[in-house]
Structure 1
């Protein structure tokens, strides 16, 4: 889900050079596009979108040092980092792995909201909610408990796909998402008793202790570098016997990495350790792919953690 936004330079000539550069970029003339972008930044030194696009081109041309310089200019010019320049710097090894910029995530999903369901489900074969539903039913069946929950929190609720999957099993659904446009889509489903725009950790912190029976996060942890804060707050908010079910992408190495798709992938051992550190019991951890890209299932995990 690449984000492509335009932040005007405030200089008409610089903006026009940017437009010409994008035309050359689309036609495959990357050196020519880079020259025009440099002209645009000469006219408007704080032209964030031009710097970011230049960084993208330099990286494609195999010029990492020049790409790093351009991405730093883009990040410096926009503290909210709506283009995600810091993520590109992380991928280039110029910045340590850190949290995903909230400005970038909000813009990404605001742009994606209108076509989210069709693009994700139809184009990528997205199956995160179904994986969570099956995992929760399995854990409940093994514990010989009914799969009905009075209060559930849907983290990163998006357009409401998770609530749709769990509609008959949840009495009171709460949705939290950083994107206002996603919240609008979720509200239109009529499945949520409460909806709020905000960061998922902050949203959990506002909830009372032991106030939820189920917390769900489908395709959310791929935008979370450090699982610890989400798991710690989930542990506090869950009532005894409650479940936290989530999906994440994974990889064969150790720890967490930022993949080529600018999404975080967590090793299975990393997930286990984070769950245990939060004081939760790992009831289920299975290799399951939540999406397909280029006709190849993206390696993933589905996890269910229980509060004792």
Structure 2
């Protein structure tokens, strides 16, 4: 792996951020392309920032190096910021919907993008065994300290689903994972391969007004996270072998005091 010129990278990235903040998006885009040339693995997420400005192609997902770096940096304050400051309560909503639909208890839960264990904590008493996966080593360490999961792995979720030999599971959760994934087929096919027939897949998405998608199924929103059109989500579920149980409109979080709209989706793998 080519050694990165950290000083040059920091200068280019800081210059790009300043130009973006000033509104000079054309100049910012040039600087972000310098960043990508210096750091092809894209630890700083230049590709998603370009896409958010409409000056770069929409990637299929956020770069692994960017996601790992982002969450490693925020692991210590993650729950304080996400729950207390941004009003994130999706794991509680997952529990409420499962109870309202009389779903569970479960034998073995797979928590994709488990983070510090917020979803695991919300569902711990509803499942016999829990496995957690996260790309951030620091997040997995924080989850480990809570002693919620029988097994924890540091891995990219689709890679894990491709290689996993621990399943099958009867429920898979992915809360606050899709904002870092654009194209859903790899995730959904992987989930289908790791679920019992009739098993549940539960995930949250962020979304935008339908007109903002310009006919696309997903795009990078103004906060550098992927948004998904509801129709795209339901189409991809059907194409990958899932029946929709319900899709609920939710507020995912607050961003600068404004609600971020999204969906909480529960789907069931069709028996073969």
**Normalized against structure 1, the TM-score is what?**
0.81
1:26-45 to 2 correspondences below 5 Å: none
Task: Tell me which of the two structures has the higher relative contact order, counting C-alpha pairs closer than 8 angstroms and 6 or more residues apart.
Answer: 2
**Displacement after TM superposition at 1:132 (Å):** 1.4
Q: Which residue of structure 2 lines up, in the alignment, with residue 158 of structure 1?
A: 115
Residues 243/91 of structure 1: CA separation in 2 closer, same or farther (3 Å cut)? same
* TM superposition shift of 1:209: 9.1
Q: How many residues align?
A: 261
Checking the alignment, whether the CA contact within 8 Å between 2:109 and 2:129 is kept in structure 1 is: yes
RMSD after superposition: 1.6
Question: Which residue is equivalent to 1:226?
Answer: 183
Q: Distance in 1 between matches of 2:43 and 2:134?
A: 17
Equivalent positions of 1:116-127 (< 5 A) are 116-127=78-89
Equivalent of 2:6, from 8, 15, 18? 8
Q: Indicate the residue corresponding to 1:70 in structure 2.
A: 31
User: Could you tell me which of 7, 12, 16 is aligned with 1:55?
Assistant: 16
Residue deviations 1:218-261, cap 9 Å, x none? Answer: 11111111111111111111102210001110112242121111
Which among 194, 197, 200 is matched to residue 240 of structure 1? 197
3-state DSSP class of the match of 1:290?
Answer: strand
Contact 1:210–1:240 (8 Å) recurs in 2: no
Q: Which residue of 2 aligns with 1:92?
A: 53
Task: Determine the C-alpha separation between the residues in 1 that align with 2:10 and 2:116.
Answer: 28
Q: Which runs of 4+ in 1 moved over 3 A?
A: none
2:70 maps to which residue?
Answer: 108
- 2:238 matches 1:276: yes
- 1:184–1:209 Cα change, 3 Å: closer
Give 1:208 shift: 4.2
The alignment partner of 1:289 has SS state of strand
Distance 2:91 2:136 in 1: 19
* TM-score (norm: length of structure 2): 0.92
Residue pairs, 1:126-275, within 5 angstroms: 126-139=88-101, 141=102, 147-208=104-165, 211-253=168-210, 254=213, 255-275=217-237
Q: In structure 2, what is the Cα distance between the partners aligned to 1:66 and 1:121? A: 35
- Contact 2:52 2:223 (8 Å CA) reproduced: no
Gaps of 5+ in 1: 1-6, 10-46
Which structure's residues are more often strand, by fraction?
2
The separation in 1 between residues aligned to 2:165 and 2:246, in whole angstroms, is 26
Q: Where does structure 2 lack aligned partners over 5 or more consecutive residues?
A: none
Q: Computing the radius of gyration over CA atoms, which structure comes out larger, 1 or 2?
A: 1
Contact residue 183 and residue 196 of structure 1 kept, 8 A: yes
2:53/2:222 contact within 8 Å kept: no
